[in-house]
Amino acid sequence: MSASIKPLVAGNWKMNGLRASLGEIAAVGGDFGPTLSARVDVMICPPAPLLYTAAVASVGTPVTIGAQDCHVAASGAHTGDISPEMLRDAGASAVIVGHSERRADHGESDEDVRAKAQAAWRAGLVAIICLGESEGERKAGTTLDVIARQLSGSVPDGATAANTVIAYEPIWAIGTGLTPTASDVAEVHAALRKDLESRFGVEGAAMRLLYGGSVKPGNAAELMAIANVNGALVGGASLKAQDFLGILAAYGDD
C-alpha cells in the first residue's frame, strides 16, 4: 500500500546553520535531478532566520523549505514567537511541530502540538507532526501505547495526506547513532498506519510516515525499504549536502 505514496526526505537543521550554510541547499538542489525528483520529495528545514534566504536559494530546484516550529496565533503580543502565517510569507511550505526537543525543552504537550498543527493548516502549511518513545518507555515495553497516545493527542481531526506528515522519531535514537531494528520500526509504523486508517480512512492510508533518528547514508537504504516507511526526517546528516545526498541515494541515482 505504501508503494504508491511518494516518499519525503526532510532535513531538520535544528539550531545549526548560518548564511554561509545556504550553499548546502544549492548543492542539494543542483545534484538532485529529474529521475530522483520523480521518486522522492526533498525538503530542508533551516532555522527561522535563514528561511527567507533559503527559500530564495531553493527557487528553480526541487528542494522545498520547511520551518521547525510555530506559534498558534497568526499575530499578536507574543515576543520572540513566529506565526505560521509569517513562516509561509518567508517561503516555507511546511512546519515541524511536536519535535521531542521542543516537547522536552519547552514543555509542549500533545494538546499544544495539536493546536500548532491546526495553526499550520490555517496558514496553508503542511504539519510534520513528530512523536516517539523515550529509552525508558522502549525498555518498559510501552512503545506502542505511547505512540498511540501521542498520535491520538497530537494529530487533529481533519488531517489529510496533503496537509499532514507523521514523523516517528524514537528519542533514544536521535543524535546517538543508535537505530531501532528494522522489525521494531516496521512494528511501530504498522501500528501508526492502522490507527491513521481507522481514524482518517483513505487519507490515513495515504499519509506519509517518516522515520527519524540517526538516519545516515550507510543505513538509509535499509530503513527506507521498511513497510510503511515513506521517507525520513534527518538531523545531523542533513547539514552537509554530501551526506544528505547520500541518504537520498537510497531512492536511486540520477
Ligand X SMILES: O=C(CO)COP(=O)(O)O
Which amino acids are annotated as binding site, given as ranges? 12-14, 175, 214, 235-236
Interface pick for ligand X out of 234, 241, 245, 247 (rule CB under 6 A):
234
Using CB under 6 A as the binding rule, the residues of this chain from 4 to 23 that contact ligand X are 12
- Helix (H, G, I), strand (E, B), or coil: what is residue 70? coil
Pick 42 or 237: Cβ nearer ligand X: 237
Which residue in the list 71, 85, 99, 189 is annotated as catalytic? 99
Pick 168 or 251: Cβ nearer ligand X: 168
C-beta separation of 185 from 211 below 8 A: yes
C-beta separation of 91 from 65 below 8 A: yes
Using CB under 6 A as the binding rule, the residues of this chain from 77 to 116 that contact ligand X are 99
Residue 187 is among the residues annotated as catalytic for this protein: no
Q: How far apart are CA 223 and CA 217, in angstroms?
A: 10
Residue 215 lies near ligand X (rule: CB under 6 A): yes
Which residue in the list 133, 137, 169, 189 is annotated as catalytic? 169
* Cell representation of residue 226: 521498511
* Cell representation of residue 71: 506559534
Q: How far apart are CA 151 and CA 241, in angstroms?
A: 32
Q: How many residues does the chain have?
A: 254
- Window contacting ligand X (CB under 6 A); options: 75-83, 152-160, 184-192, 209-217: 209-217
Q: How far apart are CA 18 and CA 56, in angstroms?
A: 15
Using CB under 6 A as the binding rule, the residues of this chain from 169 to 188 that contact ligand X are 169, 174-175
β 63-67/164-168 pair status: unpaired
Residue 99 is among the residues annotated as catalytic for this protein: yes
Residue 243 has a CB neighbour count (10 Å cut-off) of 19
- Grid coordinates 517518516 are at which residue? 210
Residue 51 lies near ligand X (rule: CB under 6 A): no
The least CB distance from residue 75 to ligand X, in Å, is 27
Q: Which residues are annotated as a binding site for substrate?
A: 12-14, 175, 214, 235-236
C-beta separation of 221 from 209 below 8 A: no
Pick 57 or 131: Cβ nearer ligand X: 131
Number of residue whose CB is nearest ligand X: 235
DSSP code at position 157: T
Residue 29 lies near ligand X (rule: CB under 6 A): no
Residue ranges in contact with ligand X by CB under 6 A: 12, 99, 169, 174-175, 212-215, 233-237
> Active-site residues: which are they?
99, 169
